[in-house]
Structure 1
């Protein structure tokens, strides 16, 4: 909802001069901006300029300051409510990073847009603004779009780690897993179909029938014979504690 509100607000303020409330002027190089000087000649243009300065500069600055101060207070309050009442080094580092980043972001935004706002108000009041001053303030304000990533990258260790992970050279590729191909499944299905066609209630697969096939002496070979037979008396038995499934390296590799 916040993103939708931002887009609706941007579309509204950018299309209002096209509908008669405010005016645009050509600044060269294929760019245009609000004609601040027309505030001296028209009450409609003056109302648009005053409204856009209040709602698009001063109010966002106040909201930004309130939000970042609230974030800092929330982090400090969470650290103060710890069970042992003793802050660890990690908690102190988080609190310090949040405070520094919030302060620098707010300061950079105010420093970037304040000169442009002052020059715009100066021009709207009818005073002459040198062309070079107007150009530098516009460039400085509109270049603020890339300040925040640089600030976060320089001051936040977590942000740097997340950016490094996204780099193609640090992408971890999973090893290819070879799957066994079961060739007797179709034969088993065909055998079940044949048994149902012959009216048999229980269908015994061929490989199980081979196990139960009697030998020449009439005895049936049991494949499980000897499994539970105790070891000979002259043999030593060594018991080894096998690792659990979650502790074995093969299991961890399969999970990865």
Structure 2
């Protein structure tokens, strides 16, 4: 018996004749795809962290948040990414019940922290560009406080499945684990609904509100005029564009996953092929490689370091 079938919902990932959801070739293909995202994600996020630690010039509020995102994304890649590659290469989840819970918790913790950090970045950019509180600025202490809050918020809502409210189970083709969207148990359903409300809806609302204000301000100062007492420099507009792009790629990565999960929660009897359920899972995990690419190629301070302008 394969270890994955020892898990409570393992029957969701085998057919009526106990056949696996994919052929051996299919699992190998998924392992390769995941490796193509995981390896660059580990290298790029580690690079962002190392470069930021080496150069004091990069220790600005925005960069604090970007480093925190790199740490969270690196954690996702090192746990969910690496384990997905290994398990797909084997064709089943090989770590048993305890391993499933540990992976589900680690990936969810890092993923929600990353999402909360996107919200933090949105707020930071809005304060810098729009100056909604006049001369009150977004300082390092605010960035550090936001980083601590992002981890505590994520921890608060990912611990309950370890204590009995909700649970971590297999997802997709049965080679990775996440909060259980399939269970009809009222306690589990209540956890999933609360989880999405506070871990997705709240950060998304904060992101959308901040960037609605930011984009309106940038539209009004397209000719580089002053707004609300603050001059918007060309460099600030470029950084704003960077984080807008970061937010859009994050939403494209995570919205399909969130939408599919909610569909299953609200309609438990819906029939979704495991392979179809795997696509949003992999899109979500692939987000770990986008952020450092955006950071490296659109961050002026990184280019200046590379060209030796900053000393």
* Conservation of the 8 A alpha-carbon contact between 2:166 and 2:187: yes
8 Å Cα contact 1:108-1:147 kept in structure 2: yes
Cα 1:55–1:163 change in 2 (3 A) is farther
Match of 2:196 among 29, 42, 53: 53
TM-score (structure 1 length as normaliser): 0.52
Alignment partner of 1:17 is 2:161:
yes
Aligned to 2:264: 123
Contact between 2:154 and 2:199, CA under 8 Å: does it hold in 1? no
Gaps of 5+ in 2: 1-144
Larger radius of gyration: 1
Shift of 1:70: 3.8
Mapped to 1, the partners of 2:215 and 2:243 lie a distance apart of 8
Q: How many residues align?
A: 158
Shift of 1:150: 1.2
In the superposition, the TM-score normalised over structure 2's length comes to: 0.44
Write out per-residue CA displacement over residues 13-35 of structure 1, whole angstroms, 9 at most, x where no aligned residue. 22101111111113554x42111
- Contact 1:119 1:129 (8 Å CA) reproduced: no
Alpha-carbon spacing, 1:159–1:119, altered in 2? closer, same or farther (3 Å): farther
Q: In the aligned structure 2, how far is the partner of 1:153 from the partner of 1:128?
A: 42
Following TM superposition, by how much is the alpha carbon of 1:51 offset from its aligned partner in structure 2, in angstroms?
A: 1.0
Report the alpha carbon displacement of residue 95 of structure 1 after superposing the two structures with TM: 5.9
Q: 1:130 to 1:151 in 2, by over 3 A?
A: same
Give, in angstroms, the shift of residue 157 of structure 1.
5.2
Query: Equivalents in 2 of 1:163, 1:9: separation in Å?
Result: 34
In the other structure, the counterpart of 1:80 is: 225
* CA RMSD after TM alignment: 3.2
Q: Which digits, 9 at most, give the CA deviation of each residue in 1:198-237, with x for residues without a partner?
A: xxxxxxxxxxxxxxxxxxxxxxxxxxxxxxxxxxxxxxxx
Q: How does 1:105-184 map to 2 (within 5 A)?
A: 105-124=246-265, 125-126=267-268, 127-154=270-297, 156=298, 158-162=300-304, 164=306
**Do the aligned partners of 2:246 and 2:291 also contact (CA within 8 Å) in 1?**
yes
Q: Secondary structure at the match of 1:137?
A: helix
Give the drift of 1:65.
2.2
Structure scoring higher RCO (CA < 8 A, sep ≥ 6) equals 2
